[in-house]
Amino acid sequence: MIRKLLRRVFKRGEPTPHKVETIGPDQHGIRVEGVSPGARRTCITLQEAGHRAFVVGGAVRDLIAGITPKDYDIATDATPDQVRHLFRRSRIIGRRFQIVHVMQGAETLEVSTFRAAHDEDTLKDEHGRVLRDNVWGNMEEDAARRDFTVNALYYDPSNGKIFDYHHGVRDLQRKTLRMIGDPRARYREDPVRMLRAVRLAAKLDLRLDPLVQAPIREMAELIDNVPAARLFDEMLKLLFSGHAVECVRRLREDGLHHGLLPLLDVILEQPLGEKFVMLALADTDKRIQAGKRTSPGFLFATLLWHEVLANWETRKKNGETPIPALHAAMDEVLDTQGEKLAITRRIAGDIKDIWLLQPRFEKRSGRAPFRLVEQQRFRAAWDFLHLRAQSGEAPQELSDWWLAFQEAGNAEREEMLKPDTTPKKRRRSRGSRGGKAGEEAAAVPPAPTFTD
C-alpha cells in the first residue's frame, strides 16, 4: 500500500511528453458564445468552488473544426462526490470509471474527475482491457490518458484559452489523427478505440497516422472482447455520424467490418446487397446533415435485410410456410446479431415491423391497401420498399404505386385498386359432407400465398 502511494506521488512529478501549450481565442477561433450555456455554467460553478474545470475532448475538437458539438464533457479535479454536492440535479453513474451527469436545463453534461496514469495495479482482463479505473490524478495525467491528441484539449470558458498537452491543435490543422502513447497498448486497453479512430478520421477528414493504422487489421479480433451494449453504442455513433458511407469504406479497408454485423462483409460483396446497404447509408447521411430525424431501427433493418432474405429462402426451400418462415428467419438473424450488438427490444420491434410489412405491399386489391396505410410503421416500411426499388431488388412500379396511393384521396384510391381475382371457396351447405356442393368446393384451388 505504501509502495503504491509513493509510486503515484513520484509518477505525478514526472515531466509531460510535451510542454503544455496555451492557445488563445485568436489562434483557435472558438467564440465563448458558441459553447453551450450549460457547459459554461457547470465550469464556472466548479471554479467558483475552488476547483479546476474545463470543457474537454470531442466538444473542443469539433468547435475548432467548425462543427456544432452534440454533447459536452467537463473535466475537473473535483471528485464525483464533490461534484454531486455542488449540483442539485446530478447523479453519479458508472462502475469502470465513475462520472457525474449534471443536468442544466435540457442539457446533460458528463463531468469526470482527472484520471491517473495506469500502472501494474490497474485491473485488466487477460487481453489487456481495463476493467476498473476509479483512480484520480492531475490534469497532465488525464491528458496522457486520453486516446487521440485531438481529444486531449482543455478549454476554459472563463478566459477562452485552450491547454494543449499533445499538439492536438496542430494535428487538426495538419489533418492527421495520432494516438497518445503506443497504439498497440492503447488498443488492448480499449479495443473500441479502433472503431473510434475510423469514425473520427471519416468525420473530420483526417489521415490516420501510420502507427495508428498499422495494428488495426491484426488486432481487430479484440473487438470480440467488448461488451455487446458498449459496442452497440459505438456502432450507433459510427452509423449516425453523418459520414456512415465513408466510415464503412474505411472499416472495409482496415478489416473491421467483418463480424460487427453478421456476414456484413459477404453482403457488401454481393451486387444487390452492397448497392442496397450503401443507398441506405447515403440516405441516412443526407438526413443527418440536413438536421432531419433518423431511426436506428430503420437503418439496422436495411443492414440485416439480406441476412433475413437468405435465411427465409432457405427455409422456404425446406418446405416451411412463407410467413411463419419469415418470422423464424427474423428471429434467428436478430438472435445472432444480439450476440455481438445489444440491440434494444424497442429497436428490434421497429426492425421486425418494417420487415413484416414488405410482403403486404404485393397485395393491391380489396381492402388490404387501406389497412396497410393505417399501420403505424407504414411510412418507414414504404421508405424501405423505395430503397429496395432503387437497388433493383423490387419493381419501381410497385414503389411508385404505393407513393401515389398514400397521397391520394379515398375516391382516387378506389380507382387505383386492382380487382380482387383471388378465387373464393364456395361455402358448403350446412350439414353436407358430400354431394355436388362438396365436390364443387373441393375443386376450387387454395388461395395463393406470398412466396417472394
Cite the active site residues: 71, 73, 147
Distance CA 30, CA 33 (A): 9
Distance CA 294, CA 37 (A): 26
One-letter amino acid identity for 334? L
Question: 402 to each of 60, 350, 372, how far by Cα in Å?
Answer: 46, 20, 10
Distance CA 107, CA 316 (A): 50
Contact 129, 92 (CB under 8 A): no
- Residue 381 cell numbers, joined: 416500411
- Would you tell me the crossing angle of helices 322-338 and 345-357 to the nearest 10 degrees? 150
Distance CA 331, CA 49 (A): 54
Distance CA 258, CA 266 (A): 9
Closest by Cα among 92, 146, 94 to 118: 146
- Residue 163 cell numbers, joined: 491547454
Strand-pair partners of 23: 162
Q: State the DSSP string of 269-294.
A: TSHHHHHHHHHHHHHHHHHHHTT---
Rounded (5°) CA angle 234-237-243: 130
